[in-house]
């Protein structure tokens, strides 16, 4: 038993050392002109549409090896303006990987800085702005919520009266389907996600019929605006909801878990929208 304890302690220490090592060895990806890297043709072909919408914008590129096969992947930074600011949505960072005869987008997120850590096994972990950690799985990078320092939102079961009130924010269909039936559960939590001293309401509808195996259960985040509670996030989760350390305009980013992994939502000035796209 004592030996087992020692092994566990040693394992934990090794894991902590590994994490520290990964943090210390995280390297920022340096972007430059696609011409300098001889990938102009690829980038132009992949982002022709983006260019047509963003005539003032520019594209930078970097070569990285995310899977250790010594074949380069292309990281790109799409700039709408002159500069990329950490914590703003002005730049988009994407990673293109060549597979199945073409270039596939395996990461797409908003941010200014991309960094990678050495891979312990498999693909290198990626991080955007030093805040959002991404891990490769099922063909693409997905948000790694624990590694991103997410704080779990505690949810309580809503009373019947609370559930009836909250049900209205899930739309008329939820009402018409009588989702207040006994099989259906409404949970809610309260968090001050924008630091204004007033709690927002985070609510999840769950139970058979409300949730889908491919998308999870409906989530709404409500913020009191003037005289009404406004829905500022509409999404799905199949497990927990996390507040992330990153924020925009003081609104903390929010991570929802769908059946394939974490999905980061960031404030866009009016409501939350998905930061990372497949």
Residues in contact with other proteins by the rule CB under 8 A = 40-42, 44-45, 48-49, 51-53, 55, 161-162, 165-166, 168-174, 176-179, 181, 183, 188, 190, 198-199, 201, 208-215, 217-218, 222, 224, 227-231, 235-236, 258-259, 263, 268, 273-274, 277-278
Which residues, 6 or more positions from 113, have their beta carbon under 8 angstroms from its beta carbon?
28, 29, 84, 86, 128, 129, 130
Which residues, 6 or more positions from 194, have their beta carbon under 8 angstroms from its beta carbon?
200, 223, 249, 250, 251, 252, 267
DSSP 148: G
Q: What long-range pairs does 138-141 form, CB within 8 A, spacing at least 24?
A: 138/260, 138/261, 139/104, 139/106, 140/105, 140/106, 140/107, 140/278, 141/95, 141/106, 141/107
């Amino acid at each position: 038993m004592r030996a087992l304890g020692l092994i566990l302690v040693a394992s934990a220490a090794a894991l902590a050392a590994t994490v520290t090592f990964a943090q210390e060895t995280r390297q920022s990806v340096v972007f430059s002109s696609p011409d300098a890297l001889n990938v102009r043709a690829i980038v132009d072909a992949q982002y022709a549409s983006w260019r047509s919408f963003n005539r003032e914008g520019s594209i930078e590129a970097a070569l990285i090896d995310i899977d250790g096969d010594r074949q380069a992947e292309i990281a790109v930074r799409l700039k709408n303006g002159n500069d990329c600011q950490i914590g703003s949505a002005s730049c988009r960072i994407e990673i293109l990987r060549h597979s199945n005869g073409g270039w596939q987008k395996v990461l797409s997120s908003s941010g200014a800085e991309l960094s990678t850590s050495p891979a312990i096994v498999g693909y290198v972990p990626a991080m955007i702005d030093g805040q959002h950690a991404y891990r490769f799985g099922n063909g693409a990078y997905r948000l790694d919520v624990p590694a991103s320092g997410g704080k779990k939102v505690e949810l309580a079961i809503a009373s019947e009266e609370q559930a009836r009130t909250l049900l209205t924010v899930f739309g008329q269909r939820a009402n018409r389907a009588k989702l207040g039936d006994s099989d259906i559960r409404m949970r809610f939590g309260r968090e001050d996600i924008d630091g204004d001293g007033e709690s927002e309401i985070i609510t999840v509808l769950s139970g058979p019929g409300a949730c889908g195996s491919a998308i999870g259960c409906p989530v709404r985040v409500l913020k009191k605006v003037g005289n009404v509670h406004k829905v500022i996030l509409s999404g799905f989760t199949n497990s927990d909801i996390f507040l992330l350390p990153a924020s925009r305009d003081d609104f903390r980013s929010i991570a929802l878990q769908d059946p394939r992994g974490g999905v980061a939502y960031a404030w866009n000035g009016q409501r939350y929208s998905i930061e990372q796209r497949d």
